[in-house]
Structure 1
């Protein structure tokens, strides 16, 4: 239980910060040392480019905010994405984020959880994910460039 002197707002901001740190740090955490692999396998794994994923998440918290801040719970979710350091675009009905899958998956979970930590009674997250089996893949900019003005 948090110290009684912390306001609910302070607790939610600390929780959002913790969630963004968790989501962004999950992929950068050092793996457990494994038995030595052959030099060729190690070189191939190190030289291979990372896979690319595009995800769109729409959070629908209930309520979406408070009387003083109409979109407080949604804003908490977006703050987690902003703190992560991945490329993202906020749209009117969701946010698109792109990067390596090992960073995207924990981020999606943290974004969902951020709405609850901000004070929403419940939340629904609608998630679309696109990735390929190989390396690389198109960026959001490549997919929509010709439609932008």
Structure 2
């Protein structure tokens, strides 16, 4: 399963959010799941139970720092597929030549 997600503390006004993103990224790193950080979120790959548990852990962790948290999740769950994190990008690059 691939899941792209972003977790945003909504009560921080115009502050930079990088310190909060870093707190979530440390949890993601410790999970052992493959991941990629992007400008608008993070993509993780793993078994559904591990991915959902990780997102929940990150969400609940953010609640320590914010009274209002927004979590957006986009999931691609294709049975029997692994290596999609790199494979999807490689397939597009191959077509580009």
Matched residue, 1:57: 5
Higher CA-based Rg: 1
Greater strand proportion: 2
TM-score w.r.t. structure 2 length? Answer: 0.80
1:73-84 to 2 correspondence within 5 Å? Answer: 73-84=20-31
Higher relative contact order (CA 8 A, sep 6+): 2
Where do 4+ consecutive residues of structure 1 move more than 6 Å? none
Give the equivalent residue in structure 1 for 2:88.
Answer: 143
Give the equivalent residue in structure 1 for 2:37.
90
The aligned runs of 1:1-149 (5 Å cut-off) are 53-64=1-12, 70-117=17-64, 119-132=65-78, 134-137=79-82, 139-145=84-90, 146=93
Query: TM-score w.r.t. structure 1 length?
Result: 0.54
Gap regions ≥5 residues in structure 2: none
The SS at the match of 1:55 is: strand
Can you give the 5+ residue segments of structure 1 that lack an aligned partner in the other structure? Answer: 1-52
Taking only aligned residues, the RMSD between alpha carbons, in angstroms, comes to 2.2
